[in-house]
Amino acid sequence: MNWNDNAQRPWGPAPAQPTGAASKLPGWTRKRVLVPAAAGLFLAGAVAGSAGGTGTENAGRATPAPTATVTVTAGPAARDGAKDTADNEPPAPKGTVRPADDEPDAKVSVPDFVGMGLQSAQDAAQAKGLYTLTSHDSLGRDRMQVFDRNWKVCFQNVRAGKSVARTTELDFGAVKTEESCPARDRRPPEVVGGRMPDLAGQSVKAARGALDSGTSLTVNDAAEDRMVLMESNWKVCAQVPAAGVKLNGQPVEITAVKFEENCP
């Protein structure tokens, strides 16, 4: 049996090879393998390289140092106080000249605004340096001047030509452009001395505004059984309690019709 043939080797430990004269028996052969010197050196180097390749390679190469990155955020440039103040102010209408900070009490001659559109009157007042402006409904209906271009000036609280400080408040009494100015400037009614005001001819909105917010108010249509929705378009015909009665929290009842209608 040829013991060099591993495929035919029986199970169990391999038999010891014969020595001496027995080694010359048939079936036993010796083989020598010659390895060239260069190949041996190559194998030795490969083994050494595989065992410590990393160390050998890194030994001749410098490891770069880690790089630190610093981020600097620049804040907004500081501005002088004068520029900050100017930036925060609302833009003035075209042609407006604001009064100098060192002349807050400078005098201004008030122009005549009557007959002007409300928006034009406000622009003209601001062009003169008058910025404290307000307006009201001259018919006493307590309507808001939402679109100033739809209103015209009938009255002004400071007469034309009077010299006033720039901080003076101007109040314009106005009506809608398609309406006629009344003979006198009417204001919403007020409760004076705790007594019921005369509400006849006043708008329902103005009447409600004159009473305490906790007052129970009933509004009825004097002509038909209609709902009173836009109260500034309705005028008071009758009221209970009557004008002059002491108010002590009692309910109030009024009847009304639309302004273009006549009270029954």
**Is residue 250, in this structure, part of any structural domain at all?**
yes
Question: Could you tell me the two tokens for 218?
Answer: 């009933």
b (16+ CB within 10 A) / e for 178-217 = eeebeeebbebbeeeeeebbebebbbbbbbbebbeeeeee
Q: Distance between CA atoms of 143 and 206, rounded to whole angstroms? A: 9
pLDDT tens digits, the chain, 264 residues: what are they?
A: 444 444 444 455 555 555 555 445 444 445 454 445 444 444 444 444 444 444 444 444 555 555 554 444 444 444 444 444 444 555 544 434 454 445 656 899 999 999 999 999 999 999 999 999 999 999 999 999 999 999 999 999 999 999 999 999 999 999 999 999 999 999 889 999 999 999 999 999 999 999 999 999 999 999 999 999 999 999 999 999 999 999 999 999 999 999 999 999
104 shares its domain with 156 = yes
**Is residue 181, in this structure, part of any structural domain at all?**
no
96 shares its domain with 171 = yes
224 shares its domain with 171 = no
Contact predicate 160/124, CB 8 Å: no
Helix H or strand E encompassing 240: strand 234-240
Instruction: Give the end of a domain, one of 176, 194, 224.
Output: 176
156 shares its domain with 219 = no
**Is residue 65, in this structure, part of any structural domain at all?**
no
Q: What is the pLDDT of residue 100?
A: 47
**Is residue 104, in this structure, part of any structural domain at all?**
yes
163 shares its domain with 118 = yes
Residue 162 lies in domain: 92-176
In the block, residue with structure tokens 């000249």: 97
Show the DSSP H helices in the chain as ranges.
37-59, 81-88, 118-127, 204-210
The residue type found at 92 is A
**Is residue 158, in this structure, part of any structural domain at all?**
yes
Q: What is the pLDDT of residue 231?
A: 96
Question: Could you tell me the two tokens for 135?
Answer: 């307006």
**Is residue 21, in this structure, part of any structural domain at all?**
no
- Check which CATH number belongs to the domain holding 169 and give it: 3.30.10.20
Which residues have CB under 8 Å from 89's CB, separation 6+? Answer: none
CA atoms in the 13 A half-sphere facing the CB of 121: 28
The number of domains in the chain is 2
